[in-house]
Every structure is written in structure tokens, then in C-alpha cells.
Amino acid sequence: MQYKNWLISVLVMSSSGALAIHPQPDPDNPGGYLLDRGEVQATEAALTANPMYALWADALQTRSNVLVEAIVPDASSNPDNVKRAERVFPQAQWEYLTQMAAPEYTYTRFLRAIGKFPAFCGDYTDGRDADAICKRSIITAFAHFAQETGGHIAKTNIWDNPLGLEEWQQALVHVREMGWSEGQAGYTTGCGQNDWQNLRWPCSPGKGYFGRGAKQLSYHFNYGAFSEVMYDGDATVLLNNPGLVADSWLNLASAIWFFLTPQAPKPAMLHVIDRTWVPSQREVDAGIGYGFGTTINIINGGIECGEQNRYKGQPVNRIRYWQDLADYYQIPIQADELNTCYQQTPYGSLNLSGATDVLYTNWDGNWQHFADRPGGYSFECQLVGYQTAYSALVPGDYEKCVSNFYQSHANWPAVRVVDNLDIPPTDPPANGTPAWEAGKVYNNGDQVSYQGANYQAKWWTQGDTPGQGNVWELLP
């Protein structure tokens, strides 16, 4: 799937400073409205003008599966980011860390997973050391693999660990969640409900969406979203065949996708590692900054971070694995990095109400009242800090949010977005009185100017032209 890497720079502004939206009655749908696509796109661009949105979107660009599936170790045709991964983490190192791994995980599949996402082990043009960032990214991933899918067998247990492997050498043992196998229908909570998740990512009958792959991808909405990325927007591929996340190179690609995807307000793990992300003041106040500890907070902060979880098994394991791996691979730890997250507030408990320096990546309907628009409806969507069906990083999703959100709420008018909507011109203000607007709602006593004359509304009105009919009183 190609993700947006553009921003519309020209914004249509009203005299109040808000973006101009001019809903027009829909002649084909009584009670419905038409919106101009240019105004809709300008609104989206204004809401995503922060440069981080373009950076996030660029990090989620992908290559076609045809190109990816041609990747094999040492091939001269391999993409540059794959060649970098081979250079800093050659096959011998893969084998050193995967001696206990399930056979479904291979070095070739690992390289293909990286090849799908050019930003992983990608280039930097600002002087940052791309090789060092690549190596740190891979080792960070393995520290989490060792916890999520590791063997967790003591080195002294010669019966189950005859090679005497360290626990940080025991990653990727499980390709499916323990206790689950193909053919079992499970993790179907919410399937079949009449809600936005099922409208966009409908469950396939009889399929199980239990944990699979290096990141243990779970639940239909995650399978659907990942499928859209892997198959050019087609959510049904993995919803109908979730076993591909275990039995193909998707078992590692799912982890790379998670590594690169911000779950706002959580940043992408890559951008914590390469320091593209700058923590907000709320995050700094909550102890959240650079270092491995923040990657734990991103993955599972709700049950692994905070003082109450300081000695809990999962975070203790992750930290131990990271420290041992970082030591073995000689990864320097900077003075401002923390390996732990017990001193951090979990993201799910972080109060971001009123914060102006925190960015979100999902769209939902804007419920604010706009007195100058029909019915007071906003005819807009807004960025929110929870998952919805619409992402600010996917082109077209904002327009879908505006159209689908309004159509799916009985009390809101239906909306269609069209090109080149004929928006009636607005007169300039006369004698300091604001010009009349056809789509604006006016109440008794409101004054407007129209064609050089001033008028006062006698009662509630919308769309009634001053000077025509008896709604408006001509003022001296």
C-alpha cells in the first residue's frame, strides 16, 4: 500500500480563522449535503500540517510483494536497506540467535520482511549513522522476540536446553500462540457486531485470530489492518487466511510493521531508536524519554510499566535480554537512555487532556457545534487518541471518515464529497456588518449585509436570500 507523503499547502480560511466549509444541499438526496473535495482536503492538510505526519507516512511506505519475494541472501538485486541489514546482521548472527527457533522463521523471510518496508534499516541524509541505527533496531526487535516468542529455558536445564543457550538466544521458538492451532476459531471477540471495526475488517466465519508470528499478531482488527498494508488495501486476504501470518514471511513482516507504526499518542518504535521522535512535555513529565524502556511502554506499558510492575516477570525479562544483547553486540547506551520503564507512567494512564504538543493518528467525527453550518454540524473529522477505522497516514481515509461517519449516524445528514462544487460567492462585509452566507444558520436579531444593504433576521433562517421573502428586515 502506498501511504501519503504529501501535504496540501493552500488552505481556504474564513474571516474567523477557521477553515471554510460550505455544505450545499444535495439535489439527489433530500436532507443531505454536498461538500467540495478541495475544502475537505484543505481541512485534512491543516490538521496534519505537523511534519511528523509526513515522516510517519514515509516510514510506512512499502514495496510490492513481487519485488519482496525475489529477495534472497547475498543477491545483488536486493534493496539497499536489505543489503544494510545483511551487512550489520549477517546470516551467521541470525543463526546464532535462532538455534532454538521454529523452522517457519528463516533468514530469507527475515530479509523479505525488512525489504517490504524501506524505512527499516533505511538511509538518513542528516548525518545520523544508518548502520548503527539498523543494528540497534534489529537487536531491539530480538530482545522483544525473546520475550514474546522465546523459549525461556534456563541455561542449566540440559534436558530442554542441551546446547546451553542463553535465554536471549532463544527467540522465535513459537510461531503460533501456545495452545492454539490452525482450524480453531478463537480470539473472535467483537466479531459480527454492527460497528466500525466489523464494517471495515469483517471476521471470516470459522477463522481464529489468535497470536501468530514474531509479534503474535492477534484479533481481527489487527489482521485486517496488517492485510491492507501487505496487500494493497485488501483487508480480506488475512481475514480469510490468517494462517499466512504464521507460515510465510509475514510472520516477521508483522513485527516490522508494528515496529514502524505509531499508535498515537505512542510513537513508532523506530522513531524512539533513531530519535526522530521528540517527547512532548507531558511525556517528559511522565518519565517517558529515549531508551529501551519506552519501547516496552509502546508494546505493553499497561501491564509492564510503572512502579507497580517494577519486579514483574515480563519487563524484567525484556530488560535482561536487551542488556545482554546490547552488551554482546556492543551497542552503546547513551546517558539519556533508560532501559527500564518502571519510572514511566504507562501510556494508557497518561493524562493528555488539554495537551497541545501530542499528535494523534486516527480520525473520528468532530462533534463540535458550528453555528455557521447547516444544523450546527461540523461536516469534519478530527484527530483522536484511540483506534478508529480511519488513519491520518492513509490517503483517502479522511474523506471516508467525513462521508461514512455522517452516513452512519441517524441524526446527522448524509454527506457526499464531489469535485468542483459550485460554492455561491460571498459578498464583502458592508458598513462593518458580516456578509450573508447561504449555508449559515441565523437566528432572530442576527444582522448581515447583502449587495451593499444591511438586513436583520426576524426569526431562524438558513438559505433565505435577503431581500426575497419576509424573513429579513431591511435596515435603514
Instruction: Yes or no: say if 146 and 170 are a contact pair by the CB < 8 Å rule.
Output: yes
Instruction: Yes or no: say if 133 and 150 are a contact pair by the CB < 8 Å rule.
Output: no
Name 66's Cβ contacts closer than 8 Å, sequence gap at least 6. none
Residue 91 has pLDDT above 60, yes or no: yes
Q: Which of 39, 44, 86, 148 is catalytic?
A: 148
Question: Which residues lie across from 445 on neighbouring strands?
Answer: none
The pLDDT score that the predictor gives to residue 463 is 73
Tell me the pLDDT band of 46, cut-offs 50, 70 and 90: very high
Cell of 107: 533468514
Strand bridging mode 362-365 / 390-391: antiparallel
Sheet with 33-36, side-by-side order of all strands: 24-25, 33-36, 415-418
Q: What is the spatial distance between Cα 36 and Cα 22, in angstroms, rounded to a whole number?
A: 8
As a whole number, the mean pLDDT across the chain is: 89
- What is the per-residue pLDDT across 197-253, written as a single tens digit (0 to 9) for each? 788 899 999 999 999 999 999 999 999 999 999 999 999 999 999 999 999 999 999
Locus of grid cell 546470516 = 91
166 part of the active site: no
Cell of 205: 466465519
Tell me the pLDDT band of 45, cut-offs 50, 70 and 90: very high
- What is the per-residue pLDDT across 141-186, written as a single tens digit (0 to 9) for each? 999 999 999 999 999 999 999 999 999 999 999 999 999 999 888 8
Q: What is the spatial distance between Cα 323 and Cα 314, in angstroms, rounded to a whole number?
A: 14
Q: What is the mean pLDDT of residues 368-389?
A: 84
By C-alpha distance, which of 257, 190, 245 is closest to 221?
190
Q: What is the dihedral of CA 386, 114, 301, 197, to 10 degrees?
A: 30
Tell me the pLDDT band of 357, cut-offs 50, 70 and 90: confident
Q: In terms of DSSP H, where are the helices of 267-393? A: 269-273, 281-285, 292-304, 313-328
Q: What is the mean pLDDT of residues 32-53?
A: 92
Q: What is the mean pLDDT of residues 13-42?
A: 77
Helices (H) and strands (E) in the chain, counts: 17, 11
What are the residue ranges spanned by the domains of the chain?
1-50+360-423, 441-474
What is the model's pTM?
Answer: 0.82
- What is the per-residue pLDDT across 74-89, written as a single tens digit (0 to 9) for each? 999 999 999 999 999 9
The pLDDT score that the predictor gives to residue 15 is 32
φ/ψ of residue 364, rounded to 5: -145, 165
Number of Cβ within a 10 Å radius of residue 96: 12
